[in-house]
Structure 1
Amino acid sequence: MSDTIRLDGRVLYLSQDPAVIEAQLAGENFTRDTAGPLRDNVSTDEITPVTVMLTYDERLGQYPYVGFKAGERLPIGRNAVKDGGFRVTVAGKRYGKGSSRESSPLAELSAGIRLIVAESFERIYQQNCDNIGILTTTDFSVLDRLLAGVAVPIDEFLKGRDSLTQQIIRSGGLLAYSRFAQWPAPGARASDAPNEAPGAEPKTLVEKIIDRHLHPGTASAQRGDGVFIAADWRFSHDYFTGMCAHLMHRAFGKPAPLHAPDHIIAFQDHLVLAPQSIPHVRDGLLPGVANLMEGHTSFSRGYPVRSHGALDGVPGSEGICHALMAEQYALPGQVACGTDSHTPHSGALGCLAFGAGATEIANSWVTGYVRCKVPETLRIEIDGQLRDGVTAKDVVLHLLRMEAIRSGGAIGLVFEYGGAAVRATSIDERATLTNMVAELGGFTGIVEPDERTVAFLKERRGVDFVLEGWMKSDADATYRDTIHIDANAIEPMLARPGDPGNGVPAPRLEQDVAIDIAYGGSCTAGKREDFDFYHEVLRWGVEHGLRVPERTRLYLQFGTMAVRAYCEEQGYLPVFERAGVTLVMPGCGSCANCGPGQSANPNDVTISAINRNFPGRSGPGDVWLASPYTVAASALAGKITTFEQLQRGHG
């Protein structure tokens, strides 16, 4: 990369005012002052909606920001960024939140964007930019100098970044760096216990796992250091397998020399229900889906990797990647990484699991290593006991509405969950806590493995696992902060449409909200215990003469086929049928705006147990987030209500 950077094009300010956006697209230039307030929380769903992610090359340059919402409008159309000659994008806080999709920065890069200036960035998005050669900065004075015609030294864009990241940026991206790096076979330190001798600095659980997986060329690592760590499991799903393979072959040749291919997994889960997806059918997108599926299957059949595919004769898959990772692969003390922001799901087992972009995964397939920054840890101490009808989903929505988290104060941190309430929860519920660290902005979530973990591994997987003494944080480990939560004080929660951080206690909702769609499923809410919750509400409803009303549709989607088998064994399916439920086989479905449960028009109102509700996430309508209990109760009532409120009204 050049030693100095000059501005050779225009600046696009992602203003809250759609008129300002439209004026810029028409050729008018603005300043930060005249552009007005900048949009915060611009998600990757807005930068590249899933309906445009049907290729993984420069054609993505037609689409950046086509899902960007200003006011109630979508002012940026196809080719607008490229045709406008923009080279810099400017936005507010938490830019790039949401999905780990590398399609977003790749679309920006392919449209001509070379620099993103924002008040703060989400971790995976910024790392993806580093990996493909887009510069990022939170220093708005750098933008002022560029606008004044100054050639800004590259060092100005590296301030505050760890030394490894600086090297990668100077190299022009991760794969350019990787070609000249040394990659000794991982595993040399796996049985060691570095930095755990008597008198050593106290460590958190995540720090201990990182120490045990460090690249052999790194003697030790401190908080804030950029490091490569050996990954026990590396996976991709059907949206990004083809992109990963394309990048890998371009960098390492074809066939590429995979490291430990039996620990690489290809999941087919996001696109399996595309033939039932409203926009994919309506807009003629199925050929693009077929293109992505060809890239996925070409890799999974061309290399001796593990694979979980589509069902035979029935729309659906074996399961959602995160759920299958917990059901079949991840173990306490391991490292798992995948092309999805909800990879921290497996943190429920005491595994260090985190999401990464396609370039990162492509590199890991060959080297066995993934990059991370040794993170600080935020301790979430949940004491007391959750009330009846309150779940882990309510806990996360409660956390998300805290201003310190809404404003991005937890970006890149580990969320370490503990306390009496956490120890009392099942692994399924712990997985909800760790899964939704993606929405909280964290690096990952983790729960110290205990006897419940051991029982889960034995009962669900037949694994006799013995916990080791190091698999916990030291008593005097250092935390960035500790948040204390009284479990008994948490009420059933909702998140208003637009962002998971728009939390409100459900009993305090001041108006009736009629719903058209209720959806229960996804990696977050398609587990066994989630279906226990759905069944508890719907059985009560059936016993009291209730059924989903005609104007409302309730979809329940299994997270894996093992969850469906469990529901069949428990006798849940007849109750679901009597209640008027539409059952959907495993897959990401409406959570990825690619299957039953998505909205068809902007007036549709959905209550959903999924993890995020950014604009366009599950179709054009409004999406409220809630727990499985509240979703099922609302479906029976035809309006947003809690299970307790439903029972009081029909007791």
Structure 2
Amino acid sequence: MADNWPPQEITLSSGKRILFLTKNLDLIRQQLYDGLNLSMSDLTVDELLDDINTDVMTPAWVCFDHDPAEIAKNGYAGLIHNGKRVFEENALINGNFEVIVSGHRKGTGSSRETAAQAEKWAGIRIVIAASFAPIHERNNINLGQLMGDHEMLEKLQNGATLPLCEFIDKYDPITKLIVENGGIFPFAKQLKSGNIDLPIPECNQRPMTMCEKIIAKKLLATNGKTAYVEPHNAVLASVNGGYSHEFTTAQVHEFLKHEYGENYSLPDPDKFAVFEDHLLYATGVPRFGPFTDKIQTLRNMQNLFQQHTGVRDYSAKDGIS
């Protein structure tokens, strides 16, 4: 597959592999460690794992790393069988997989973005499932991952080339643009540079609720014209405020540096804030002991982000947030 992801035509890459997450965990082990290669024609959807939880993909302790490349080393660390990890450290990376396949409701559980990151930074770019949990699906979209079904995979394994539109035609116009541009950060950068024209909602003048009026007033790309919205419109709107906490701020800082450079800035930083929440009482908790340094790194990087951007600082004082 092309480095400029995603290309307009999707094929399987020579030398890359497909990982099938089967209910038979021994088959997963054979794919990871013994070089077993399976085909969709070898399996039925019922033989694939359903309800794969994001806590299985990246348990909480994995999220103490903020670098996605480090997170990927422990992808699926929460899949335990007979007291042992099915995926040892680096197993997902070392498998040389570009496609991962499961059953129904992929990505249930916590909304953590790290679950999708673990797959992407392990080299996976196509995620196949019968269905996806909505938030996990959105996390994949924001990373520029392609999601398809088992019939599409079987075509790819038979040597077919699929147009990108087969993966994205199910989405609204804005989501299509996000995936076509490789994810939310590249999309936002192109939008800021004026290289993307946002679609304007096709909505005639109508009575609107208070919430709809607020959204309509904040719409981007209306060129100053009065706009109207209605349920199911896909829109982008400016916001009056936002926040980040210490479990996510380190990634925000690093991603913005990567996309916009070391000297990036936030517009209207006084509208945004950081606060301590998830890790406020982690110090001194025995089970968090092995991760003390990583936890402190997350706190320190939130401080760096606040100092760099000038957002409001609601850090804890004397242990009180």
TM tier, shorter chain?
A: 0.7 to 0.9
Would the aligned equivalents of 2:275 and 2:316 in 1 still touch at CA under 8 Å?
no
Alignment counterpart, residue 260 of structure 2, candidates 252, 258, 275: 252
Aligned equivalent of 2:130: 119
Return the alpha-carbon distance in structure 2 between the equivalents of residues 182 and 83 of structure 1.
37
Return the alpha-carbon distance in structure 2 between the equivalents of residues 74 and 222 of structure 1.
48
1:28-43 mapped onto 2 (5 Å cutoff): 28-32=36-40, 33-34=42-43, 37-43=47-53
Aligned equivalent of 1:288: 294
Aligned equivalent of 1:44: 54
Q: Tell me the CA shift for residue 255 of structure 1.
A: 3.1
Q: Tell me the CA shift for residue 295 of structure 1.
A: 1.3
Match for 2:305: what amino acid?
F
The two structures have a TM-score, normalised by structure 2, of: 0.83
Return the alpha-carbon distance in structure 1 between the equivalents of residues 91 and 152 of structure 2.
25
In the alignment, structure 1 residue 19 sits paired with structure 2 residue 26: yes
Would the aligned equivalents of 1:17 and 1:71 in 2 still touch at CA under 8 Å?
no
1:253-402 mapped onto 2 (5 Å cutoff): 253-281=261-289, 284-312=290-318, 316-318=319-321
Match for 1:66: what amino acid?
A
Aligned equivalent of 2:10: 5
Q: Tell me the CA shift for residue 264 of structure 1.
A: 0.6
Match for 2:30: what amino acid?
A
Return the alpha-carbon distance in structure 1 between the equivalents of residues 254 and 316 of structure 2.
22
Give the 3 Å change call, closer, same or farther, for CA 75–206 of structure 1 in structure 2. farther
Match for 2:287: what amino acid?
P
Give identity over the alignment, percent. 29
Q: Deviations over 1:105-148 (max 9, x none)?
A: 221111111111112222332222222222112x3211111111
Q: Tell me the CA shift for residue 166 of structure 1.
A: 1.1
Q: Kindly tell me the number of residue pairs found equivalent between the two proteins.
A: 299
SS of 1:227's equivalent in the other structure is coil
Q: Tell me the CA shift for residue 209 of structure 1.
A: 4.4
Aligned equivalent of 1:96: 107
Larger radius of gyration: 1
SS of 1:130's equivalent in the other structure is helix
Match for 1:167: what amino acid?
L
The two structures have a TM-score, normalised by structure 1, of: 0.43
Q: Tell me the CA shift for residue 67 of structure 1.
A: 0.9
Return the alpha-carbon distance in structure 2 between the equivalents of residues 119 and 73 of structure 1.
28
> Which moved further from structure 2: 115-124 or 105-114?
115-124
Give the 3 Å change call, closer, same or farther, for CA 18–61 of structure 1 in structure 2. same
Return the alpha-carbon distance in structure 2 between the equivalents of residues 77 and 277 of structure 1.
26
Hey, which of these two has a bigger chunk of strand by percent?
1
Would the aligned equivalents of 1:17 and 1:70 in 2 still touch at CA under 8 Å?
no
Structure 2 unpaired stretches of 5+: 1-5, 195-202
1:391-470 mapped onto 2 (5 Å cutoff): none
In the alignment, structure 1 residue 132 sits paired with structure 2 residue 143: yes
Would the aligned equivalents of 1:15 and 1:91 in 2 still touch at CA under 8 Å?
yes
Return the alpha-carbon distance in structure 2 between the equivalents of residues 119 and 178 of structure 1.
30
Structure 1 unpaired stretches of 5+: 185-194, 319-651
Match for 1:7: what amino acid?
L
Return the alpha-carbon distance in structure 1 between the equivalents of residues 280 and 235 of structure 2.
36
Q: Deviations over 1:316-335 (max 9, x none)?
A: 441xxxxxxxxxxxxxxxxx
RMSD: 2.7
1:614-633 mapped onto 2 (5 Å cutoff): none
